[in-house]
Amino acid sequence: MVMRFAGSLNLLLSVVAIGMFVETWPVSAQAQSDPLPSWNEGEVKQAIIRFIERITSSGGKDYLPPAERIAVFDNDGTLWSEQPMYFQGFFALDRVKALAPKHPEWKEKQPFRAVLENDMKAVAASGEKGVAEIVMSTHAGVTTEEFERIVKDWLATAKHPRFGRPFTDLVYQPMLELLAYLRENGFKTYIASGGGIEFLRPWVERVYGIPPEQAVGSSIKVKYELRETGPVLVRLPEIDFIDDGAGKPVGIHKFIGRRPAFAFGNSDGDLQMMQWTAAGPGLRFMGLVHHTDAEREWAYDRESPVGRLDKALAEARSKNWPVVDMKRDWQVIYPFEKK
């Protein structure tokens, strides 16, 4: 998480102001029976539908019992956007500003001073140590209930700098349809995110239809305290678990205890999750989102510090895992384009 924040803050420096213009993409009339209406006809859509048909065909050789229908999705860059930096990064910077009145010393202390002065170059210069300080000072020291309220309040008011919309508007319409399609076919849909689990849980049910108990992510430690007003769980400034890279199969195993049959990611941080999924017996589905649409969303892969996609793309190509070409495969990116 720390390294990711460092990378994302770096990137922020290179982001030029991007206009607020959003294209209204034509949504063609689709047969009502199409489970994935925002997906253009093509290899990826066909691979998804063929997979579902095969694993639900009772008596077929690829039939998968409902109890084993576990699907895992990365979040940043797979279910919602992650540019110009992970959205949790915006949250952390906003929290520094919100907390500043209680921390007069921050006016003179880096990296907080840099955040308060919107000097992103100096924030980035504070390095991993600085970013860790920002994360811990903005994510710890409160109870779990207080933090949930803080996340909800932030999401209700914060706006994405490019689109001028709430961050939760920037979820991918085709992926919402895919999540629903999987659930209609008996899947339990899970998130396996490198982002913070408690940053996800307050809103994933409302936005993705994924209940909080089906969100896996990175975490800091919490401690039980019996106060005079009752028991609380206090968030501590100490990493508990990093759910990224080789940590993703570990997190999936820890929280779910079953190997997924379906996994979708978009970056090298998802590669081990996909390898772990692929290695199970029977038919499996491994998919990647490739960000190829600078106009409607963003275009980036091998060189991007946020959501770098290099090794996982090579492995997907060599193993014939479906790769979404966002520009080609997605008729609509965000739900608001449909209006």
Interface residue list for a copy of itself (CB under 8 A): 67, 70, 144, 188, 197-198, 201, 205, 211-213, 215, 219, 222-224, 226, 230-231, 233, 240, 246-247, 249-250, 253-258, 272, 275-276, 279
- Strands, E assignment, 55-186: 70-73
Cα–Cα–Cα angle for 54, 60, 66, rounded to 5 degrees: 65
Q: Are 126 and 112 in contact (CB under 8 A)?
A: no
Residue 314, phi then psi, degrees to nearest 5? -60, -40
Consecutive H or E run containing 263? strand 262-265
Q: Give the whole-angstrom CA distance, residue 211 versus residue 158.
A: 23
Write the single-letter amino acid at 11. L
Tokens of 316: 């997907």
Q: Give the whole-angstrom CA distance, residue 273 versus residue 295.
A: 30
Q: Give the whole-angstrom CA distance, residue 171 versus residue 194.
A: 17
Find the Cα–Cα–Cα–Cα dihedral 325, 327, 328, 334, rounded to 10°.
100
Residue 191: closest CA among 178, 182, 200, 203: 200
Please compute, for residue 208, the number of CA atoms within 13 A of its CA located in the half-sphere on the CB side.
30
Task: List, as one string, the DSSP characters of 2-26.
Answer: HHHHHHHHHHHHHPPP---------
| Count of C-beta atoms within a 10 Å radius of residue 34 | 14
Identify whether 231 is preceded by a cis peptide bond (ω within 30 of 0): no
Q: Are 317 and 276 in contact (CB under 8 A)?
A: no
